[in-house]
Amino acid sequence: MITDNTTFINPIGAAFILLMCVLIVVLPRKYALVPFILVICFMTMGQRVLVVGLNFTMFRILVFFGWIRLLIRGEIRGLKWHPIDTAVVLYVISNATIYTLQWRTWEAFVNRSGLFYNAFGLYFLFRFLLHDLEDVRRGIRQLATFAVPLAISMMVEKLTERNAFAVFGAVPLFTVVREGVLRCQGPFAHPILAGTFGATIFPFFAAMFRDKGRKLLAMAGMLSSLVIVGTAGSSGPVMALLFGVLALVMWPMRDYLRAVRWGLLISLVGLHLVMKAPVWFLIGRITVFSGNTGWHRSYLIDQAIAHFWEWWLLGTRDTAHWGRLLSDVTNQYINEGADAGFLTMVLFILIIVRCFRTVGVSVRAMQDGSFASRFQVWGLGASLLAHAVTFISVSYFDQNILIWYLLLAMISTVGVAAQASEVPLKELATAPAKGPLRLTWNRAPAHKAPLASEAEQPQGRPVTGALLPRPQSQRRTP
């Protein structure tokens, strides 16, 4: 029997992770994400090594060698700080500190050290490996390539009711059946998490469809995502997928999202006032597959609010007394609060808010760029919305942690690139002209100062709106 306190690694798993560790060190930077994608798609969290009581799963081992790569190749340089970086740091510090204060044991400290290692190790490793939008787009293409065999394996599992990844441990050999529905999970820790992976990567590939010469790969990625979601047989991932698609089709309304958000908030408040039950019980009415546990999710939210004063400061050690089956906190937001208090929950939400803001600002800053590039950035925001929705019904504890921090790193990388492409208006107005310089402008944001008149502009430098990024040919390679 395999327990969490034992080392378990078979020859196939050992050979696989050894190969991944070699690849992460020797591959060129543009292919450095490939070993992580392979671990996400083809390795369970059952393969692990215990070192002085510390649990090193396969992706944690890979993170270690990833940082060795950065050191020996001298790639720890040039990181430009972004507000998302600050939000991640504050969230991790708050979570680790408050959780440890709640339990005041060595085991609690070791547990939060794992969170610290995962978050900082993955997020900042990806930040160093991703330099610009082209790196982000390349990573998405690589993800699409390996999503195809994963989808095929889950289709085989659907047909045979056998999970080939059971050889690596942590997943059952026989596919789970709930009320007559096969719930395939592949290498993931739970069918819901398998479906979540498929749902949250679909917007990547749908946005890539407008990329010239990538239509076939984008179609293969989208089809693979749909297969993964469908074979998982869970309602939560289907809803996440629908919200991701909804975010993509909102592209024409991107300049009116503030009004959309306020309208949605007012509608929810109105429903809350007229409904007999609180508005969050609408979650329990959403059913896609039989065996849906939406009411359980609604009840969990209801009880978390009812017990707010129990967990708001330092979290709580146990939620079992909240109600039947509520010891399993299947909500990432509530889980953050139950683990480490309201402050940690707020900081976790702050990460998501800053990411949404960064996507919007980056799309506006890329007005001079191609539609394919801008829509690919929009696709990152659509994936973020899919994650934000699925956090209502599940907490991540498997490979989805990797795809989550990869998405955060992608968005912050795009945000830094957008910041670097901007030239302050004051500097532009006072700088002497040095030969011809052609700039493309858009309407000025409301927060900018009024522009100088045409007579006050440096000769040869037209100014009619907000500064846009330089064409790719004029940018220096980092």
For residue 56, the SS3 value is strand
Rounded Cα gap, residues 20 and 16, in angstroms: 6
- The per-residue pLDDT for 457 is 40
Question: Who wins on pLDDT, 104 or 54?
Answer: 104
- The per-residue pLDDT for 288 is 60
pLDDT tens-place string over residues 439-462: 333 433 444 444 443 334 444 433
pLDDT tens-place string over residues 68-82: 999 999 888 888 999
Q: Average pLDDT of 359-376?
A: 88
Whether 183 and 230 have beta carbons less than 8 Å apart is answered as no
pLDDT confidence bin for 292, thresholds 50/70/90: low
Q: What are phi and psi for residue 441, nearest 5 degrees?
A: -125, 160
- The per-residue pLDDT for 233 is 86
Rounded Cα gap, residues 223 and 205, in angstroms: 9
- Please determine, for residue 240, whether its predicted confidence score (pLDDT) is greater than 50: yes
Rounded Cα gap, residues 163 and 275, in angstroms: 44
H/E element, 158: helix 133-160
Rounded Cα gap, residues 166 and 184, in angstroms: 12
- The per-residue pLDDT for 271 is 84
- Please determine, for residue 425, whether its predicted confidence score (pLDDT) is greater than 60: no
Hunting for tokens 């394919």 — which residue is that? 372
- The per-residue pLDDT for 169 is 82
pLDDT tens-place string over residues 200-217: 999 999 999 888 888 999
Of the listed ranges 43-57, 61-75, 334-348, 452-466, the least confidently predicted one is 452-466
CA 192, chain centre distance (Å): 16
Name, in order, each residue with C-beta under 8 angstroms of 307's C-beta and a sequence gap of 6 or more: 316, 319, 322
- The per-residue pLDDT for 290 is 52
pLDDT confidence bin for 369, thresholds 50/70/90: confident
Q: Average pLDDT of 431-446?
A: 38
Mean pLDDT for the chain overall: 84
Of the listed ranges 150-164, 238-252, 291-305, the least confidently predicted one is 291-305
- The per-residue pLDDT for 445 is 43
Q: Biggest alpha carbon distance in the chain?
A: 81
Rounded Cα gap, residues 170 and 45, in angstroms: 6
Whether 366 and 254 have beta carbons less than 8 Å apart is answered as no
- Please determine, for residue 393, whether its predicted confidence score (pLDDT) is greater than 90: no
- The per-residue pLDDT for 441 is 32
Q: What percent of the chain has pLDDT over 70?
A: 85
- Please determine, for residue 47, whether its predicted confidence score (pLDDT) is greater than 90: no
pLDDT confidence bin for 105, thresholds 50/70/90: very high
Select the highest-mean-pLDDT range: 138-152, 173-187, 227-241, 274-288.
Answer: 138-152
Read off the tokens for 184: 């395939």
Neighbours of 392 (CB within 10 A): 21
- Please determine, for residue 465, whether its predicted confidence score (pLDDT) is greater than 50: no
Rounded Cα gap, residues 52 and 75, in angstroms: 30
Name, in order, each residue with C-beta under 8 angstroms of 158's C-beta and a sequence gap of 6 or more: 175, 182, 184, 231
pLDDT confidence bin for 278, thresholds 50/70/90: confident
Q: Average pLDDT of 151-176?
A: 91
- Please determine, for residue 238, whether its predicted confidence score (pLDDT) is greater than 70: yes
pLDDT confidence bin for 255, thresholds 50/70/90: confident
Number of H helices, E strands in the chain: 16, 6
The C-alpha R_g of the chain, in whole angstroms, comes to 24
**Helix, strand, coil tally for the chain in percent (to 5):** 65, 5, 30
